[in-house]
Amino acid sequence: MDRTGSDAGLPPNTLAVEAPAKLNLCLRVLGRRDDGYHDLQTVVAPLSLADRLRVHAFADPGTFRTLSLSLDVTGEPALTRGVPLDETNLVIRAAAAMAEETGIRGFAEFGLDKRVPAAAGLGGGSSDAAAALGALNRLWGIDLPAGDLIRMGAAVGSDVPALLARRPVLAEGRGEAVTPIRLARLDWVVVTFAFGVSTAQAFGWWDEDGGPTGAEPTGLLDAAAGGEPEAIGPLLQNDLEGPVTARHPAVRDALDLLGAAGCAGVVMCGSGPSVAGLLPAGGIGCDAAEEGELERLSGRGPVRVSSPAG
């Protein structure tokens, strides 16, 4: 839930917002484009696991002649390691892109509390950027329409438009064409790994392997609206899963363990290496012993999360 300066005892011109992780119920890669990106059809759902972003910002062309941006990152060392603090961080890139396009002069100070692992396929950095755009749109008093935010977000990263929606969506093109979908609330077990996979690397492996391209998500979209985990589970699909598991067998092992633990379906998250198991109705499945096995395999305890209804 987002908190504003006025309703949460925060200083003036300050917002505290959540930046939810995501998973892809389906990630269908259609093919490589001339610009090096890949055309996709992907069903993206935000998760209850989220980074926290605090934004203190103000803009006034009469007062400020320059733009000043700063970022402080906190969190467990395992989560903050490798998160850039400079202008390459997607939060700063998003703020700079917005200021550039709107001619804003003023400042923005970001405090980012990391809870979502980086390079995990969970969209953490992209969601931070989406949250920054939403907060600055209010604090800088720009009030851009959603379409402009999506365009700016797409320039920062292909996952940003889907995460700006803050609800389940079908994303197409390179990720910028976003359509809201109906999805019931679902419960998941997510397994993360100590190593990361870069998005460019995963798509490069898909090119190297010559595919695959899975089925159209029509059946999944129907099942998603119905909300039965047992109907949705078998339709979960990710075309990057084969290329990534071929190079990282532990990811395949985690998917198999989740399946054996009674999940209604399993799928790799985005470009990996995180994997998710969809829990059957009632949230049962994956007992303590099975969680222990997953922890021994991945080096990290699995986390239970939900994707809210939308």
93 binds ligand C5P (CB under 6 A): no
Angstrom distance (rounded) from CA 267 to CA 113: 27
Angstrom distance (rounded) from CA 200 to CA 192: 19
174 binds ligand C5P (CB under 6 A): yes
Which is nearest to 46 in space by CA: 149, 168, 150?
168
- Specify the stretch interacting with ligand C5P by CB under 6 A; choose among 37-45, 225-233, 279-287, 300-308: 37-45
Tell me whether residue 15 or residue 156 sits nearer to ligand C5P (CB atom): 156
Q: Which of 22, 51, 128, 239 is catalytic?
A: 22
Would you give the binding string for ligand C5P spanning residues 128-167, x where CB under 6 A is met?
-----------------------------xxx--------
Q: What is the chain's length?
A: 310
- Specify the stretch interacting with ligand C5P by CB under 6 A; choose among 32-40, 72-80, 243-251, 273-281: 32-40
302 binds ligand C5P (CB under 6 A): no
22 binds ligand C5P (CB under 6 A): no
Angstrom distance (rounded) from CA 121 to CA 119: 6
Question: Tokens 């505290």 identify what position?
Answer: 16
Interaction with ligand C5P in 188-227: which residues (CB under 6 A)?
199-200, 203
What is the closest distance, in whole angstroms, from the C-beta atom of residue 209 to ligand C5P in the complex?
14
38 binds ligand C5P (CB under 6 A): yes
119 binds ligand C5P (CB under 6 A): no
Q: Which residues pair with 114 in a beta bridge?
A: none
Q: Are 83 and 114 in contact (CB under 8 A)?
A: yes
40 binds ligand C5P (CB under 6 A): yes
Tell me whether residue 239 or residue 290 sits nearer to ligand C5P (CB atom): 239
Question: Total binding residues for ligand C5P by CB under 6 A?
Answer: 12
Q: Which residues pair with 59 in a beta bridge?
A: 106
What is the closest distance, in whole angstroms, from the C-beta atom of residue 28 to ligand C5P in the complex?
11
Quote the crossing angle between the two packed helices 249-260 and 288-298, to the nearest 10°: 180
What is the closest distance, in whole angstroms, from the C-beta atom of residue 122 to ligand C5P in the complex?
13
What is the closest distance, in whole angstroms, from the C-beta atom of residue 199 to ligand C5P in the complex?
4
Q: Which long-range contacts (CB under 8 A, 24 or more apart) does 225-230 make?
A: 225/181, 225/182, 225/183, 225/184, 226/184, 227/183, 227/184, 227/185, 227/186, 227/309, 228/281, 229/186, 229/187, 229/264, 229/265, 229/278, 229/279, 229/280, 229/281, 230/264, 230/280, 230/281
- Specify the stretch interacting with ligand C5P by CB under 6 A; choose among 34-42, 251-259, 284-292, 294-302: 34-42
Element (H, E) at 114: none
159 is catalytic: yes
Chain-centroid distance of CA 161 in Å reads 10
Q: Which of 51, 128, 159, 239 is catalytic?
A: 159
The distance in angstroms from the start CA to the end CA of the chain is 15
176 binds ligand C5P (CB under 6 A): no
The residues of the shown chain that bind ligand C5P, judged by CB under 6 A, are: 36-38, 40, 157-159, 174-175, 199-200, 203
Q: Supply the residues annotated as catalytic.
A: 22, 159
